[in-house]
Each structure stands twice: as structure tokens, then as C-alpha cells.
Structure 1
């Protein structure tokens, strides 16, 4: 009887346990008894919470997955094991190692244990993979990808180098993967980023490279400016520097977030061709000036090929100003000055007929033809410049200088600022306000170089930026960050490209812009506070807030159990 009572008691316990489980889940619960009279209950498919979220990070070693709830912008972490069932969009069993950051999934889990019961790649989601056809900083709460407009807010998950980022950290040359549902973007992941290119010196053999052109396989075409720092898509390129006597070619490798310094000491300046010109002047006491510099007469003088201003003067004689064209290896200029008492009209005729030809045989008509050649050459050069300009800046026509107003950079203090590749100065500094899309690069020794893409409006007011502090480079990684076309000095990306505090909040265009310290909760509130008149033109953090980022009470309540399941609010 005791044995029977004991068995009856166990049976009642099993029934009660099964009833309790079935009360909290529609899932079938299986109870079994082994030879040792031990009862086991299967909890497979048991859940009390469900969510549609974007994958923030995957840790296959710890068996943890972090998610971003798009409705609230909150991040939470769940564990998984062999009982967690995962399927792709076709319903095929999926290994956790095949999941991707940014992917949108439907996840069911136990709120109490933070454990995944099942995960399905969302059938409602769409993905645009590896594209450079994007504009994420539009200032109206929208983004444009491959010609289509989508809603993009502060809750959109943006990942670069495995860390949270801002939309304005993504440059036009970066390749991105975009995931969303309907017309709303849930996640943006940078699949191919950018590095930086600079010159070890813009002076070579006493010749300035400023004004020459640097080209990377048509990906980057830029006119060299003093102390420039350019962004360039990561990858291998054929680099060319052309102009100012330079015609340098080299292979370079651009690594993400690292600076490649082109060693200009390897560049050879090809000096322009020169001809030997002998000036035979009457009287012999006359002084001859070529482009303002005095030269000797009677002996050969080295003069560059091309056109020059020639001035000949002597006491008691009429000063002659002529054009000199040098185009042969050796030539002689024979000129006889006219005395002042001979009358200016005769001297004018003399200037017109001889007109500074190298061999004193070029007529006025010949000089007119030569001038036509010069104009033709200038037109050709202008045509080339026009081609490069349209290739490097398709939006130049919409850029407008707002006279009397400036863009101020107040943070991070001490960082060097580069505006569209040109060096501006050290923070705090400013630049005249120019409307349109621009690229800001911040650089400081010992810190990771950072880029921002900003949109400046045409309003007649000043714009002020206070960017987040740069991330210090870890000592162990800085030693491996040297890259070059021929031994360049680079800066390595720190493993922690940004922190949750700085990257998931607004960039900060004014002192009112807050940073949510040590919180992974919704960034929409931070973006709302970041919006200001001074930054209405600015970065994604503020423009999103101005457009769609206001957190209403309804949206605060819209999150399901996922927003509170992790304790990471």
C-alpha cells in the first residue's frame, strides 16, 4: 500500500506540473518516467515572450545573441542551447553560426531565464546587400537606398566594425547592408568601410605638389591641397600623382580606419624642358628681364619652354615689353632698341613687327597665331579640370557659400579638422559655411581617426558641432597599424571603435546634446534633445530627431516583453 500510495503521489505531481505548463503555453508538454522512477518534463517550445528584432551581435562561444527591439530602440541579450530551434526564411534548420548581424528575426523566449525557445529569420523582412548607392543623412527622417526612400529613425540599428555607429559615420563610398520591413529600415551594417590617404610631404625636390592631382583607380580623384587627408574605400589601388612635374604611380592598400601615408620622397620631378637662349641686344648696355628676373646678354641662358614676359631697357632708349616663346634647344634673340628721340610711333611699329620672337623673325601675325595656341591650351586644361570636378563632386552645383556665416567645431578639443579633405585647423576652429553634403575628418595623435558625413543647410545662421571624443588607440594594437604605399605610417583601429554611450546617441551639434552614459536603452530620447536650430543642417542624430525621432508615450509603451526581459534597459 505504501508503494502504491507513493506512485499515486508521483502521478498526481506529474499531472499538476503538466497542467501548470499548459496553462502558460500552448505547446505540448511531454512527461516520462525512467527506470529509477524519476520524472522528466520537456520544456521544448515553451515561451512567454515574442519579438521581431534585429540581431545586434552574436557570441557563438558564450552562446549569446543580442537583439535590438526596433519599436523601443532597446537592446537585450538572450542565451541559446541545443533546445533552441532556429530556422531560415524557408523553414530549414539553421545553425547559429550562420546568423548575421543586422538580420531581422522573429524570436520567442522565456522572459524569466532569458533563453531562446525558437528563432526564425523573418519572412516579412527584405535585405539590400553590399551597396554604395545610399544617402543616409538627408535631414528629414528618411534615407535613400538604391533610388528608393525609406523611413530611418534614431532606433535604427547601425553597426560598423562590430560596434554601434551613427548614420553620419557612414561615408558615401562605404558599402552597406540594409535590412527592413515594409518602408522602414531596421538595421544598417557597414560591409566595406574606408581608410585614409595622406602624403608624407607636399614638397618634392623644392617643387610643391599642391595643385597636382591624386587618383586611386577612379574611386578617388582629388586636387592636392596643403596637409590634406583624404578618405578612400578600403581595398587595393593603383595610385597616381600627376601634375607640377610629377607623374608618379604606385600600388597602395587602404585598410579600414587606418591611414596610408604615401612616401613622396620616391617621386621624381620631371623638370620642364629648357632651351638655351642667347640675347643679342643693341645697345650692349641694355638690361634684359625674363619674367621679372634679370638675365645676362651675349651668352646662352637657360629658359623653360613656353611663353614668357620679356622686358628690355636701356638709358636713352624706349623700353620694350614683349612676349618670348621658347620652343627649341638653342636660339638667338636679336633686338635693337630705338632711341627715345626717334618717336614712339616708330618704336611701336618695331615692337609689332619683331614682337619678341626667338629668332627675330616672328611677325605680328605669327604672334597672333601663337596667342591662339595659348588660348586653345588653356581651354583644354579647363576641360580636363571640369571633367575631374564633375567626377569628384557630383553635388557641387548645390553647394553654396553662405556669406558671413560659419561652421564651428568645438569638440573634441585639440583634434585636427579636415573639411572635404582640406586641412582646416585644430579644434576649436571654424570654416565658412557651405551648404550641401560634406565630409569631416577628425585626427589626433594617439587616437583613432574618425569621419563624419554632414548635411549643411542654406539658412543664414551659424552651425556648431561638438563631436564625441576620439577613441584612444590601445598600445598593443597601435604597433600593427603601420601601412603604406612604401612604408607609410598608419593608425590602427582600436577594437572598440566606439562605446555604447557615445555611438548609440546623437553626435551632438550643440551643448544641449546629451549622451546616454552606459545605457543601451532607446536612443530616440537622446536624439530629441540633440535637435536644435544650430544643428538643423547637421548629423543624422539630430536630423532624425527633427524628422521622426520624437518618442511619444505610445511608442514608449509599444515594446513587448523583450524590452524588459534582459535587464539591460
Structure 2
């Protein structure tokens, strides 16, 4: 009798306990399955190495830090393991772009976020692919860097970074301290809310001065960037490129053109300049074609008039429709100067002229001047004999020219076969003709200009066009 009274109570307690267990379990599961909260604007979101692996395609996430073409190795930073290492590759290694296009290893830009797979038997890389979920912002200026909070801001959006951040300038890995946000133009790569690499696409250098006591208290102009008083220990951080520098003090004026190179210091020495540098030259112009326009230090000049320029160096540019543009640093150092500049026709226009006239336009002779004047000029159509005199060519044995694309095309350099792309050769500066040939495709010819800038030159030409059947 007593048992029959306790039985309903026991059943009730069991049901209550079961209900509590189910309810708690439901709450826990709902909490674990709920979607992640979207970040608020300007909020820093922590991205763990584990999350990086889960949210991307197969393979280990890494940042490309270097390519050793001689030993067929790449240096990488492993994002998940937070360490730097290197791997070997060979012809069997598959290399793909973000859209699965086949590449060769040298085509991968340093700083790329990649996924790598290693053959366990050989230890060689079996697959390298640009991470499909990685983003890439180009032309970034005025990047805001907060080293205390390990935060960077692009526009109004905040991103985090860590000690594994890869910073590339040219072909070198550099420190974040090398970045000058107000001067440098950057390419920024990352995943989610985290920045993995910065690549400097246009850097900065430093301009210093020496032996300029006679100019103290005067004024200085550097391009359109600096207008300042001349003082002791002057030093300016400038974007890489050429600048016109003007220093003035009483009757003393100096005009110089300086070439600021990335991560280098240029020292402008003024010990050899005296008051005679204030002399002026009367400059006249003879341009071919007559429709050509000329600018000096960025300002267009009326070629129908004689102008006066102080002795010194000037950035001169000439251009005309249908002709190859010309630019150079010109030194003015005599009382009279004739700038006689004849532009070369672009290939298409020259062919049209031949069809219309049945002959090529003759070259323009350089006018003779007396001892008190000088002439600056180039020939419009140099002959085979004087071509080396008219075009400045220099071999730089320490640097190379790389031809990356189109892969498989036979590359000829000024008529000499170099090899099938990707291929390379010792750097030769100046203007050159590149011919691309491949079975089943139309032959393509390009004219390139190799600058004497102390850097490797890299060319990737458009895909070739199939021959019409």
C-alpha cells in the first residue's frame, strides 16, 4: 500500500529531471550552433591560425617571402605555425593563380598568400596555389599603422596584424619601420580582418646636402613637394623619382635634377657652384614634327618664342600624336642653346606613311652651331651605322631581364633568340625590339624601353592570338 503511494511521486521526479536535462542540452546546442556575430564597423576581429586553416581550401596557408631560382627553393612564413621555413620545388610542382591558371614559380609575386602541399615521399612541394579567399588592395596610400595595438587602418576599416607580417620592398624582406606611410604606395594582402603582407610598389628615398654654406638663409624648391628656407643639416624624405631642385641665395642660383631611388640616400654637393651659375641662356626650339609640344620641369613651353633659362639641369619632355615620346635631363651651360629634337614615328604611323608616299620620311640632320651655343637633339630615324650612338645602351651584368609570359612563346631580343618563356637574360638598357613566336599563333612584336635604374626588369606580354584558319 505504501509502495503504491510512492510510485507516482518517483515517476513525477524522473519526468521532471528528464525535462530539465533536455532543456539544458537544447540551450547548449543552440548556443554552439548560432551564427557568428558580424563585426561592427572599425571593430578589430581576432582571426586565429586554426580559423585560417578551416576557412580556406586544402593545404597549409603561407606567405611567399622569397624565390631562389638557382636552387629551386621558396621561402615562406607558415601562418598557422607562426614560423619561417623553406621548401624545394621542381617541374612537377603545380603552381596556380587565384583563378586556377597555370603559372611558373617566378610569376608568383612576393607577399602572395598561398596554400602549399608537400609530397610526403619526396619532401618536395607538390602544389602551390594562391589562396582563393585572400584579398588584395593595390595602390594603398597613407596607410595608418598603430604598432602599440598591432592595428592598421585603410580608409575607415581596421585590420589586425602580428609579428609574422611580411614586408616586401623590391626583392627584399624589410622591417615595418622601413615603411613611410605618407610617401609610399603599397599593395596590401590579407585574409578576413587580418593583414598578412605589405609590398612597396613605389617607395621613398632621402635627399641630403653637403658643402652648401654659401646658400644658408636662402630658399629651396624640390619639385612641387618642398618650398623651404635653407638651413643647416637639411634632409628630406621624398617619393622615388626625379626631382628638379632649385636653390637661391642673393645672386646665386643652382638648378639641379636629382634621381631619388628607393631606400637610398642621395647627397647633393654644392661646393663647386659660384655666383657665375646665375648666368642665363637664350633657348630656341626646333621640333619635328612641328605639332610636337615640349615641357620643361613640368611646364609647357611656347616653342615659337625664345626663352631664357638659368644655367643648370632641366627635365625636358617632348610628345606628339603618332610619335614616340622623348624625355631627358638637359644641361644648360652656354649663352645660346638650340633644342633640336626630332621624334621617331610609332611603327603604325610609319607604315601608313610608306603606303601613302611610297617611301620613308628622311631623317632630320642636326644643325651646326657656333662655339658659344649648344644643341640638344636626337635623330628621328637613326641609320644602322649610327644607331648605337643615338640610343644609349649599357649592359648591367648584375641585373637581369625576365620574360614571364606568354608561357611557351619563343622570345627574340633585337633579332637574337633568348629562349622560350619563362626565360631571362643579362640586362641591357635602352630601347629594344621584342618578337614573340609560337606555332599556331600570330607573331607579335613589341618595342620596350629598359631603364638604367639598377633593378631587374620583368615583362609579361599579352596572350598570343591564334592564327586564322
**TM-score (normalizing by structure 1):** 0.36
Which gives a bigger RCO, structure 1 or 2 (Cα 8 Å, sep 6+)?
1
Instruction: Give 1 or 2 for the bigger CA radius of gyration.
Output: 1
- Comparing both structures, which one devotes a greater share of its residues to strand? 2
- Comparing both structures, which one devotes a greater share of its residues to helix? 1
